[in-house]
Amino acid sequence: MKSLVALCLLAFSLSSYASSGSKPPITDLVKKELKRSDLQVAANENAVVLVSFKVDENGQVLIQESNTNNEDLCEQVMQILNKMVLPVSNAIDEVYQMKFVFRWL
């Protein structure tokens, strides 16, 4: 098993198909939760996780699609998202796209 080290979350590129009217924005809540989590990346490795999701009427995250160059890190991100309960958006059909860039320092 690879030696894992703490990582520094350097960049979040956030966008959504429709503008979010909730306060605080859902993308900010997700970003904050991932910064607080203990995500790990292997030494000397960079990783990118792309996620598209919706929030249902109960605040549960429904993953639409994900793409990554690091399956282990993607699984960690998915576990965090699946545990979150977010504020219900005014537009239930709104799709959020988030890009997480992780770099080992």
* pLDDT interval class at 23 (50, 70, 90): low
Task: Look at the chain and report how many structural domains it folds into.
Answer: 1
- Secondary structure element (H or E) that encloses residue 8, with its range: strand 8-16
Per-residue pLDDT tens over the stretch 30-55: 999 999 998 878 778 899 999 999 99
Parent domain of 95: 4-103
User: How many other CB atoms are there within 10 angstroms of residue 98's CB atom?
Assistant: 22
Radius of gyration of the chain (CA): 14
pLDDT at 82: 95
Length of the chain: 105
Q: Where are the alpha helices (DSSP H) in 3-95?
A: 26-36, 71-83
pTM recorded for the entire structure: 0.72
